[in-house]
Chain A
Amino acid sequence: MEQIFDITVNDVPGLLARVESIFRRQRTPIRSFFFEGGEGRTAHVTITAFAGDDAANLLRKQLMRLVDVCDVSLAGSDRAFAPPESLFTFKEKTA
Chain B
Amino acid sequence: MSARFQPRERTRVRAADALAAELVAQGVTHIFGHPGGASLPLYDALLSAPITHLLMRHEQCAAHAAQGYARATGRPGVCLATSGPGATNLITGLADAMLDSTPVVALTAQVATPLLGRDGFQEADILGMTAPVTKHNWLVLEPQELPGTVREAFRLASAGRPGPVLVDVPRDVLQAEIDWEEGSFTAALPRRADAACLRRAAFAISNAKRPILYVGGGAISSGASQEVRRLAKKARIPVTTTLMGKGAYPETDALSLGMLGMHGTAYANWAMNGSDLIIAVGARFDDRITGKLATFAPHAKVVHIDIDEVEIGKIRKADFPLHGDARVVLQQLLPLVGAPDTADWWKEIEAWKAEAPLRYRQEGDVILPQFAIDSLWKLTRDLRPIVTTDVGQHQMWAAQFWKSDEPGTFITSGGLGTMGFGLPAALGAQCGRPDRLVINLNGDGSFQQTMQTLATAVEARLPLKIIVLDNQGLGMVRQWQDLFYDRRFFSVALRNPDFAKLAEAFGAAGFTARRPDELEGVYRQALAVTDRPALVHVHTEPTENCFPMWPAGQSIDTMVVEDPKYGKKS
Contacts and interface: CB of A to CB of B under 8 A. Distances in A.
B132 interface: yes
A58 B310 contact: yes
A58 B135 contact: no
Contacts of B309: 61, 64
Given A64-B309, A67-B136, A67-B156, A58 B131 contact: no
Contacts of A17: 128, 131
B127 interface: yes
A58 B132 contact: no
B314 A58 contact: yes
Interface string B500-532: 000000000000000000000000000000000
A21 interface: yes
Interface residues of B, number: 13
B128 A14 contact: yes
Given A67-B136, A67-B156, A21 B131 contact: yes
Contacts of A62: 310
Contacts of B131: 14, 17-18, 21
Interface in B107-155: 127-128, 131-132, 135-136, 139
Contacts of B308: 65
Contacts of B314: 58
Contacts of B313: 54, 58
Interface string B351-395: 000000000000000000000000000000000000000000000
Interface in A16-60: 17-18, 21, 25, 54, 58
Contacts of A25: 132
Contacts of A21: 131-132
A14 B127 contact: yes
Interface of A: 13-14, 17-18, 21, 25, 54, 58, 61-62, 64-68
21 contacts: A13-B139, A14-B127, A14-B128, A14-B131, A17-B128, A17-B131, A21-B131, A21-B132, A25-B132, A54-B313, A58-B310, A58-B313, A58-B314, A61-B309, A62-B310, A65-B135, A65-B310, A66-B136, A67-B135, A67-B136, A68-B136
Given A58-B313, A61-B309, 19 more contacts: A13-B139, A14-B127, A14-B131, A17-B128, A17-B131, A21-B131, A21-B132, A25-B132, A58-B310, A61-B310, A62-B310, A64-B309, A65-B135, A65-B308, A66-B136, A67-B135, A67-B136, A67-B156, A68-B136
